[in-house]
Every structure is written in C-alpha cells, then in structure tokens.
Structure 1
Amino acid sequence: MITELLADLDAESQELDALVADADLTLPTPAEGWTIGHQIGHLMWTDKAAILAITNPEAFQAQPLTADVVDRTAAEAAVLPDLLPLWRNGRAVLREHLATASGKIVWFGPPMSPASMATARLMETWAHGQDVADALGVVREPTSRLRHVCHLGVRTMGFAFLLNGLAVPEAEVRVELTGPGGELWTWGPEGAENRVSGPALDFAWLVTQRRNRKELAIEAVGPVAEEWIPIAQAFAGPPGGGR
C-alpha cells in the first residue's frame, strides 16, 4: 500500500512541479498574502517537519504549530533563490524515509502511520497546488488521486469537531462521492441517518477549504452531517478561514 501511495504522491508533486517550473514565484495566490513562492515554501517546510518527525520525534515535538510560524516560514522560504531545488530535494528525502518508516509518526495533529503521512503530504500538495493553479489561471484535470484527499477528509471528521471546541459525535456518517470517472466512492455504513454526497472534487475542495461552501454541490443530510460540513478540514493546525 505504501508503494502505491508514494507513487501517487510522486505524481501529484510532479504535476505541481510542472506548473511552477517556469512560473513567476512572486505571483499572488488566493491565500491572502501568499505568493506562489509562499505555497512552495510551505510545502518544503512541511516536508522538512515530516522528516524531523520521523528521524527525531523529540526535536519535532519541541516546535509549535501556530499561524505566525506557518506564515513566517513560508515568507522566509519564498525569497530563497534556490527554492525549487530545495523543495525537490526535500520531498525526495521524505519519500525515502516514508518508504522504510514503521510505527506511528508524531505530528501536529494525531500521530500517523507512514501511509497516513504519505496521504497527508499528497493532500497538502494537491491543496497548495490548487492555489498555484488558481493563481496561474490553470484548470487542473481531476484524477483518481483525489480519493486520497477525500479519504483524509472523511477520516479527520472527529478531529475537525475537536479543533472547533465541539464534542466528537457518536453517530457515523455515510459519505458517497462521485469520482472523476463517474465511479462511486463510499465511506461509512450504508444505512446511516447522516449522509454527505456530491462530486469528489467538490468534497476535496471543501475539506481543504479551497472553495466557498456555497459554490460546492455537496449535500448534507442529518444533524451530524450538517454540523460537520461547515467545519470540515483535512489538514492539521487551527481551523482555517476558508475562501
């Protein structure tokens, strides 16, 4: 499983790399105050953090994750003249570590398995890649890799409630999403009272907070589903402001 995940992470990274290879890294993106350079710099910083979490968990746990840290490290990286080579090297090193890692990896959110970490890195690469694509006016073709993003969005439901100071609901939610090829992706018990449905791309935009909820064809039925959708997030750290 980790081999397939890492192959998909490689493909997602390469797609983003093709977008930024000749791009103006100072071009602003939809994230307020962030340029394309900030987006790539953040990915580079997070890859380095993941490497540290695997190789030296004690040192990793000594560093906090706050909005000012995220903004500061992205700004510092954005102006590096060798940002792209550094990002490429960092993600290659992380890939090597993930291929051989075992046990749980400490993180800013709950500890994760190597497979979950690879999924999280793919999700972040896709999400920040969306910001880059929007900045460049590029419409990306959805791929089956979206399933990883959606899977993480479903798995982090309880985490999203906790981040927003809410009790984690006991009721399960059935999620039914239509993939890029028309295939149906499902999570949760079929007969659940609470249900979420819609296009997989829209759900991925929702849980990465890359589009406003009102723009998305996501349907929520049931009290838990209706409470979850406005706060859904697949990423660690404080709740985002959305779009």
Structure 2
Amino acid sequence: MVDLTALLDDLAREGDELDAMLAGLPDEDWARQTPAPGWTVAHQVAHLAWTDDRALLSVTDPDAFTAELAALAHHPAPRRWVDEGAAEGAKAPPAQLRARWHRGRTELAGALAAVPNGRRLPWYGPPMSAASMATARLMETWAHTTDVADALGVRREPTARLRHVAHLGVRTRDFAYGVRNLTPPAEPFRVELVAPDGSVWTWGPADAAQRVCGSALDFCLLVTQRIHRDDTDLVAVGPDAHAWLDLAQAFAGPPGDGRKPGERS
C-alpha cells in the first residue's frame, strides 16, 4: 500500500521548492522565457495552477470533469486547450498568480487526502487512484519547476522524490505506446536507476531480456521530455527497450515534441 500522507508531503515539498524560487522574484522575471517554446515563468506557474484546478474538479465533482472531458473531444486542437489555459492564467499579476497556485495546490492536497480507498478519479488518461493523482501532480510540479529553474539560472539538487517521477515513468510505458496508436511490448522490462544517494531503484523482473539502466535524474528528465535521450547516460538492452526510450512520456495527453539533442535542462 502507498502511504498517501507521505506522498502528499513529498508533493508539498516539491511545490515549496518552486515557491522558494518565486518568493521575491521581480515582476519582470516572471516574463523570462523558459525552455518550453513560448512559455514564460508565468506560463509555467499558470499551467500548474490550471492543472491543479482540473485535478480538484476531478476529485470534488467527477461528473463535471467527465462532461468537460467529453467536450474536449470536440476541441479542434486538444493540446492548444492546455496552452490556452496557461496563456490566460499568465495574464494575471505575478502576486495574484502565485496566490492562485498556492491556494489550488493546498485545496487539492486536502481533497486527495480525503478520497476513500478504492475510488478511481477520472483524468485525461486512464482513471487513477488518489495516490496516482498525487504522483502525477508531483511529476508535473517537478518538471515545470525544472523549466523555471532553467530560466532563472537556478541549479537544483536532485532528491529522493525523484523516485515518484521514475515510478510513474515506468508505469506509463504502455500508455506511451497507446497514445501513438502502437502496440506495447508483451514482455515486462527491467529498469535499474541510480538514485541521488547512490542506491539503486529497480522495477521489473531481474531476468528480463529488455532492460534500461542509468541515472534516475536522466530517466526522469527523459520521461518528462526535458531532455533528448542522446544527452542522457541511459543504456537500453534489447530492441523494445531501445524503442521505448524514444517515445517514453510520464504525462497524460497527446505525445509531446520533446527536446532536440543538446537542449538539456
């Protein structure tokens, strides 16, 4: 069983790291461009606020969320809908935007803590548990904080919280194939990642023929599409494992464009 309380604590700490970067940040620096084309620091924070709002709706009013999801199917460009949410939120004064994001993540954490065991929450991919939703929010927060840190020239120290991101990256292997209308490999993979403290995190059977190994940080950057695989230390053994690293994504929605070689975060 996942310790939801501990997971939500890690989610809060991930958000606190970003909040520390934003504290006292001059208004003009919110307009700095981040590695995501067309997205400023304000866009990154607005996106987190927007997705936290969507997650909160999923928890508190799943019927309304499901109706919104059905309407999205008729949107001419679903990915642009996400961009529009970020663009609209980024128009707010920085102090107001920061307060909105803080309020939303706090309300979401409280709502997730109260979700009964066994309840599934609707989302843009498969329905998920409260723990999976919290993990997804932590992954998004970590990824967008990485973009903000790059824009501000802040060097981040990797933490044990990367395990949540890595776990989601492993668990979404088949989803990454599905959103590309590809059939996922039938056999399980072995994934071995070196954690920030030098220990090794593992997933899958030890005797699996298809294997991925390398640093946890590089794997997390890859599955959140913050790095091109050529710029990682990841090693794939087996053709299926090799192919997976070209399309891995830990986030819901359509495939992203990723980064070009040399655009390492």
TM > 0.5: yes
- Describe how 1:118-197 pairs up with structure 2 within 5 A: 118-197=134-213
Partner residue in 1 for 2:256? 240
Give the 3-state SS of the residue equivalent to 1:230 in structure 2. coil
Give the 3-state SS of the residue equivalent to 1:175 in structure 2. strand
Conserved 8 A contact 1:41-1:78: yes
Structure 2 residue 103 is matched with structure 1 residue 83: no
Q: Using the alignment, how far apart are the partners of 1:55 and 1:229 within structure 2?
A: 36
Conserved 8 A contact 1:171-1:224: no
Q: Using the alignment, how far apart are the partners of 2:154 and 2:230 within structure 1?
A: 22
Structure 2 residue 113 is matched with structure 1 residue 99: yes
Give the 3-state SS of the residue equivalent to 1:62 in structure 2. helix
Aligned CA-pair RMSD? 0.9
Partner residue in 2 for 1:216? 232
Structure 2 residue 21 is matched with structure 1 residue 29: no
Partner residue in 1 for 2:262? none
Q: Deviations over 1:84-138 (max 9, x none)?
A: 0010000000000000112111100011100000000000000000000000111
Structure 2 residue 238 is matched with structure 1 residue 226: no
Q: Using the alignment, how far apart are the partners of 2:24 and 2:148 within structure 1?
A: 12
User: Offset at 1:62?
Assistant: 2.1
Partner residue in 2 for 1:47? 52
Q: Using the alignment, how far apart are the partners of 2:22 and 2:81 within structure 1?
A: 24
Q: Deviations over 1:125-183 (max 9, x none)?
A: 00000000000111100000000000000000000000111002111100000000001
Partner residue in 1 for 2:263? none
Structure 2 residue 111 is matched with structure 1 residue 109: no
Partner residue in 1 for 2:19? 17
TM-score by length of 1: 0.98
The number of equivalent residue pairs is 243
Q: Using the alignment, how far apart are the partners of 2:137 and 2:39 within structure 1?
A: 19
Identity of aligned residues (%): 56
Q: Using the alignment, how far apart are the partners of 2:192 and 2:8 within structure 1?
A: 25
Q: Using the alignment, how far apart are the partners of 1:213 and 1:138 within structure 2?
A: 23
Structure 2 residue 7 is matched with structure 1 residue 5: yes
User: Offset at 1:68?
Assistant: 1.0
- Describe how 1:52-63 pairs up with structure 2 within 5 A: 52-63=57-68
Q: Using the alignment, how far apart are the partners of 1:119 and 1:22 within structure 2?
A: 28
User: Offset at 1:193?
Assistant: 0.2
Give the 3-state SS of the residue equivalent to 2:211 in structure 1. strand
Conserved 8 A contact 1:43-1:125: yes
Q: Using the alignment, how far apart are the partners of 1:214 and 1:194 within structure 2?
A: 19
User: Offset at 1:58?
Assistant: 1.6
Match of 1:73 among 68, 85, 97: 85
TM-score by length of 2: 0.90
Q: Using the alignment, how far apart are the partners of 2:160 and 2:133 within structure 1?
A: 18
